[in-house]
Structure 1
Amino acid sequence: MTDLQVNSKLMDLTTAVDRFVQDGDCVALEGFGHLIPFAAGHEIIRQNKRNLTVCRMTPDLLTDQMLAAGVITRLVASFFASGSAGSLYELRRRVEDHDPEPLEVEEYSHYGMVCRYQAAAAGLPFYPLRSYAGSDLPQLNTDIRKVTDPYGGGEIYVVPPLQPDVTIVHAQRADHLGNVQMWGIVGAQQEAAFAGKKVIVTVEEVVDPEVVRSDPNRTLIPSHAVDAIVHCPGGAYPSYAQGYYDRDNLFYRDWTAISRDPKLIRSWIDRWVYNMPDRAAYMEAVDDERWASLQVATKMSGAVNYGQRQPQH
């Protein structure tokens, strides 16, 4: 076998989800408004995974869709929102009316979620933070606790580590070895990846290792932390991938009406998830004019000189 075959972490999305996501798992799906792993979430639905605990900063349209599909039984999250474009009615029905059944919710602040991932990534028993002072969250979530500062600083809030069974993120590019590069707005993808027991990364493109080595500071998740790389163009749509396509704001606005009607949201899932064999088919079905309107012009970043040792004579 060649080095490419021996060391490659490339696989298709169906295989990656089937291999690494099991019923009852705790699954982190991270991407902070940007690079949301919609394709992976849809594949989880398509494979009829059940009883998942889903961890996500800003549970949004993807969470609404997975709830409607019956995938999620527990949600660990911060700031419930639809990308500033409306309400998440499937989520609201579950939380407010227990319709069609109750949803267990464990809520933190954004920073609290990041601290939980950091604690797990570092093997720490908890992570201290001050941002819960004056908040009602500690009364609503008993896992947000106070400890005494051993250095005499009084009491401070702490949160427990969050170690997902699987972390799934989307990124702009990676090499076949599993070195993942991102730019633009990044949320807790790096922390969640280091915290996860297994890591799946979907990417817009797979590049040669030489491309990664030419700009190493963009490598937010190195190969040793990655189990699967999936080439998945459009994998973040309808969210956006900086440098590849813009966010489909019209879809985000339309989602309010879709999610308001339980029959309509399930009809949407049937049409756009269950009846699509894979992400390529999904993207093929997106209206050409609409997709064209989301394409972005090239704007290259400035070059930097990493330097190279002079040959010795």
Structure 2
Amino acid sequence: MTNRAAKSLVKPNRPRFTDIEGLVAMVGQGDALGVGGHHFARLPIALLRAIASSGVKELRYVCWAGGLPLELLLEAGAVARIDLCFSSLDIFGLPPRFRAAADSGAIAVRDWTALAMIQALRAAQQNLPSMPFQLPAGSDMLARIPGASAAPDPIAGTAMGFIPPLRLDTFIVHAQRADESGNVQIIGPRALDFAMAGAARKVLVTVEEIVPVGALRKDGRQSILTRNQVSAIALAPGGAWPASCLPLYATDYQALSEAFAARERPPADNLRLPSEGVPAWLREAAKVRPETVLAMPALGRSEEKASVDEIIAARIAAELDNESFASAGAVSPLANVAYRLAKATHAPDMIIATMSCGHLDIAPSPMILSLIESLDCETAVAHAGGDDTYSAYYQAGAVTHEIVGAAQVDRRGRVNTIALRKPSGGLIRLPGQGGMADVANMHRDYLLYIPRHSAQSLVDEVEIVSSARGLLTPAEREPMGYRTGKALVFTDLCIFRLDPTSRELTVIEIMPGVTRQQIRDATGFAVTLDADCREVPLPSGDTLAVLRNRIDPLGLRRLEFVSAKQRGALIAEILAADRAMVERCIVVQG
């Protein structure tokens, strides 16, 4: 796919207006297919379902994320190859179809770093034979990225990565509006939509509304795909549901939960999403204002004793100050809670970016599941795409923190989120590294967390190094333009620091009530304890009150600390509380 001869990316000045069936007819057998939107936001669900039902086969799925779109296409047997950075169903866990395909080897999965994919799309967009990118130092990812190689920069002589163009045959995306000339308006974060549209021969768009020419100029924060970048448009109101399309409707987590649960009960082995239309309460939820939520009575727990998830969240928050720039990834409730807690208490001037840096400089709104995206979208100073923020923030070394969960970490702080080897010799596929291989070196502080400390999660040496702090000391970091900070691993038993001299993990703090022997017994390598090792401080009563009642009243952080078997019951509890709070907000707001 990456080495095929270039075909013209130039499109007519006016796209076709058609229906969803007309868009589907433009998707060819064996197409390299990119999918727009991100996470559970603005996904082209209606078009994906129609493609899945059309009988098209041999598609090469190309996207930063897999998740729900990939599951729909895999269930239809439409996919022959997968190129991605990670795949997850967020709070609902790992996508079963993706895991099954990857575990069995039935479909080739090619892992990319986010930066390599961005630069490969840009090379296609700009008609260049290759693009440079910063090497993911310390990881094994360079050898896994299709077509990537390392070579000295021809001017500076510095070792760089180079990637050939990543060309798409078809890119599908859902947007809020198009005008009658074919200009398409995207409101909110735009993920890699612009780069993928620029790298695609055909850009197929579904929209909520078609408006007269000139109407798009009246809005504020927005992004426009001009009409000469679009091939065809279909009107599809509710076309992203049960994903969100703000400011029109929020994500339907209840519908997603029911669909994901039903597929696990025989004979319903396929994902059956509802089709009756966007529920009215989700349209009202999208209109709830931040001040309405902040005025609601607390729903948080009132126990006096701090739980381990609260202790870790508060301890991470203590790492942040007014000069911090913290980025929250797509699937990281604990990080999101910690950042908001810091900004709501001792670090009001810090910058928080959510939706993988799509919402820039948000207010610390409460973590109400159905409202998180809309509140962040409303309070953000700016909206951006993943390609923009890589250039402006990550690669520039401007981000200080991005704490990321890890499946497995070794004694040298190296992470494996690609695959684990079973005792039988087979592999268990993990979600992938997303962009962590890049940003592990770019961020000032390298922070990881493992919610359940065990000898299986903390090992002597990981089999696949998906990300690592390869540039650790000032002498290694400063020539690259990166600041030097801390490298820490948080677990439910202790906190490790990556020692810059030994380049191995050392215990610097121990969780309350945990013994040193407990840590040794639960760790798969010989544990070293710092001479000044101390107990992790308990959060104050005031901090706990803000955490429980102001920041995370539903206890979303708990999802990271339960087993897969316990997750279903906890999700049901959270969804019930979420619905109750959203409905109260809707009534109060009127």
- TM-score tier by shorter-chain length is 0.7 to 0.9
For 1:173, the equivalent position in structure 2 comes to 177
Q: Does 1:194 align with 2:182?
A: no
Residue 158 of structure 1: CA displacement? Answer: 2.0
Most deviating of 116-125 and 213-222: 213-222
One of 221, 225, 230 as aligned partner of 1:221: 225
For 1:26, the equivalent position in structure 2 comes to 32
For 2:280, the equivalent position in structure 1 comes to 292
Residue 69 of structure 1: CA displacement? Answer: 0.9
Q: SS state of the match for residue 116, structure 1?
A: helix
Q: Does 1:87 align with 2:69?
A: no
Distance change (3 Å), C-alpha of 1:131 and 1:254:
farther
What is the aligned residue count?
A: 277
The CA distance in 2 between the partners of 1:234 and 1:124, in whole Å, is 38
Q: What is the TM-score when the length of structure 1 is the normalising length?
A: 0.81
* Letter of the 2:19 counterpart: D
Q: How far does the alpha carbon of each residue in 1:121-173 deviate from its partner, in whole angstroms, 9 at most, with x for none?
A: 11111221115222221233352211220112421012221111111111111
Residue 183 of structure 1: CA displacement? Answer: 1.6
Counterparts in 2 of 1:82-231, with a 5 A limit? Answer: 82-98=89-105, 102-130=106-134, 132-215=136-219, 218-231=222-235
Q: Does 1:58 align with 2:65?
A: yes
One of 1, 10, 17 as aligned partner of 2:24: 17
Q: How far does the alpha carbon of each residue in 1:163-222 deviate from its partner, in whole angstroms, 9 at most, with x for none?
A: 111111111111122111112121011111111001111111111111124459734311
Query: What root-mean-square deviation, in Å, do the aligned CA atoms of Structure 1 and Structure 2 show?
Result: 2.5
Q: Quick check: which one's helix share is greater? A: 1
Distance change (3 Å), C-alpha of 1:166 and 1:256:
same
Residue 29 of structure 1: CA displacement? Answer: 0.9
CA contact (8 A) 1:9 1:176 kept: no
Percent of matched pairs sharing the same residue: 27
For 1:75, the equivalent position in structure 2 comes to 82
Q: SS state of the match for residue 96, structure 1?
A: helix
Q: SS state of the match for residue 265, structure 1?
A: coil
The CA distance in 2 between the partners of 1:11 and 1:164, in whole Å, is 21
* Letter of the 1:105 counterpart: V
For 1:251, the equivalent position in structure 2 comes to 255
Distance change (3 Å), C-alpha of 1:118 and 1:255:
farther
Distance change (3 Å), C-alpha of 1:115 and 1:252:
farther
Distance change (3 Å), C-alpha of 1:48 and 1:213:
same
Q: SS state of the match for residue 84, structure 1?
A: helix
Distance change (3 Å), C-alpha of 1:230 and 1:142:
closer
Q: SS state of the match for residue 209, structure 1?
A: coil
- Computing the radius of gyration from Cα coordinates, the structure with the larger value is 2
Higher relative contact order (CA 8 A, sep 6+): 1
Distance change (3 Å), C-alpha of 1:67 and 1:212:
same
For structure 1, which runs of at least 5 residues remain unmatched after alignment?
Answer: 1-5, 273-281, 303-313
The CA distance in 2 between the partners of 1:142 and 1:22, in whole Å, is 23
For structure 2, which runs of at least 5 residues remain unmatched after alignment?
Answer: 1-12, 290-376, 380-590
Residue 86 of structure 1: CA displacement? Answer: 1.4
* Letter of the 1:293 counterpart: W
CA contact (8 A) 1:53 1:76 kept: yes
Residue 292 of structure 1: CA displacement? Answer: 2.2
Q: SS state of the match for residue 74, structure 1?
A: strand
Q: What is the TM-score when the length of structure 2 is the normalising length?
A: 0.44
* Letter of the 2:48 counterpart: G
The CA distance in 1 between the partners of 2:15 and 2:79, in whole Å, is 32
The CA distance in 2 between the partners of 1:262 and 1:26, in whole Å, is 33
* Letter of the 1:14 counterpart: E
CA contact (8 A) 2:135 2:142 kept: no
* Letter of the 1:292 counterpart: A
The CA distance in 1 between the partners of 2:233 and 2:208, in whole Å, is 11
CA contact (8 A) 1:170 1:235 kept: yes
The CA distance in 1 between the partners of 2:180 and 2:221, in whole Å, is 18
The CA distance in 1 between the partners of 2:167 and 2:146, in whole Å, is 18
